[in-house]
Amino acid sequence: MKIVGIAACTSGIAHTYIAKEKIVRAAQELGFEAHIETQGTIGTEDEVTPEQIREADVALIAADIKVGGKERFKGLPIVEVPTEAVIKAPKKLLLTIQGKVMKN
C-alpha cells in the first residue's frame, strides 16, 4: 500500500514530527510506502509530489488543526485522524486503513 499525507499539530512542532516518524516507520515495517509532509510553524516540509500522489492508494491526514492542500488528494480515499491516534497505534491504524482501502 502506498500512502501520502500530511502531519500537523496545534503548535506545529513536536506531535507533527512524531506523527510523521510513526507513520513512516510503521509503513516500512509493514512493507508499505509512505510519503508524509509536515505543516507547522516553519511552513511545509517534505511536500508530497504530484507523482507520489498519483501512485498512492490513500491519503492520510494526521492533524489537530486545519491543513492546507487537501484538494491535491482528490480522487483518493482520505483518512483524517488526530495526531494522537497515529502516535499511540500507528501499525493498527495503517492495517485498518489497508483493510478499508482494499475493500473499495
What pLDDT band is residue 12 in, cutting at 50, 70 and 90? low
* Residue 63 grid cell: 492533524
The whole-number average pLDDT for the span 59-84 is 95
Q: Quick check: 46 pLDDT over 70? A: yes
Residue of 3, 4, 8, 9 marked catalytic: 9
15 flagged as catalytic:
no
Cβ-based burial of 70 (10 A; exposed 0-12, middle 13-18, buried ≥19): middle
How distant, in Å, are the alpha carbons of 68, 93, 101 from that of 47? 11, 22, 23
Cα dihedral value 65, 21, 60, 88, nearest 10: -80
What pLDDT band is residue 104 in, cutting at 50, 70 and 90? low
Q: Which pTM does this prediction carry? A: 0.94
